[in-house]
Amino acid sequence: MSLINLVLQARESFADWRRKRRAYEELMALDDRMLADIGIHRSEISRIVWGGPESGEESFEDRRRCPDFSTDTQCDSPLPWPLPRPF
């Protein structure tokens, strides 16, 4: 990657961040009734603007796995990450 491409990518990333930040601030400025009119709750604004489980990322609950490393079973572990696999 050339230096020019790096600078262009940084500029594009910064512009994208500014757009998302502005959208976040505008949505947070709406009252709860107006948010309900457009079908979102205040607690969803961050996920909607910055991305989250619906955008293909793994949610916090999906990352909480049992120490036995079964991928289909959730556990009540207080850790938000799986424990290291024993040797």
Predicted TM-score of the model (pTM): 0.56
Say yes or no to pLDDT of 78 above 70.
Answer: no
pLDDT band at 61 (very low <50, low <70, confident <90, very high): very low
CB atoms within 10 A of CB 7: 10
Q: Which two tokens stand for residue 53?
A: 């489980």
What is the predicted pLDDT for the residue at 85?
55
Tokens 């502005």, residue located? 22
Who wins on pLDDT, 72 or 33? 33
Query: d(Cα 5, Cα 69) in Å, to the nearest integer?
Result: 41
What is the predicted pLDDT for the residue at 25?
94
Say yes or no to pLDDT of 75 above 80.
Answer: no
Query: d(Cα 3, Cα 65) in Å, to the nearest integer?
Result: 42
The DSSP letter of residue 51 is -
Query: d(Cα 50, Cα 33) in Å, to the nearest integer?
Result: 22
